[in-house]
Amino acid sequence: MSTASETVTSDLSRFGFRELKMAADLLAAYCETPPEFLGDGLSVMLNTHSGYVFLTDEDFNVGMMNGDRLEQFHTCFECGAEGFAEELNGHDCR
């Protein structure tokens, strides 16, 4: 059960029309070419603070639209840097 205070939710009643459209685009891209990085326990999620809509699996892998492509979104658990592979190319947490 989700509550109004949750930052991340899969409760579609908390998605606005913009976010529902983003979810539809994610699911369409997923159906067209299911990515190998997403596995079992797949959910559509909304970060209510950032407005990001993304797919996530039971291993916390994240997929987001990067333009018109569904790509893996990465998080560095050491420093908190986030982004797609090309944005984090050469990333070093030192």
- The residue assigned the tokens 């989700």 is 2
pLDDT score of 84: 92
Segments in the chain below pLDDT 50: none
Residues 6+ apart with CB under 8 A from 80: none
Structure token pair of residue 84: 């797609």
pLDDT for 28 equals 97
What domain range includes position 47? 8-88
The answer to whether residue 50 is domain-embedded is yes
Domain presence at residue 12: yes
Residue 43 lies in a domain: yes
21 within domain boundaries: yes
Domain annotation covers residue 94: no
Answer whether residue 93 is part of any domain: no
Instruction: Quote the pLDDT of residue 94.
Output: 53
Domain count, the chain: 1
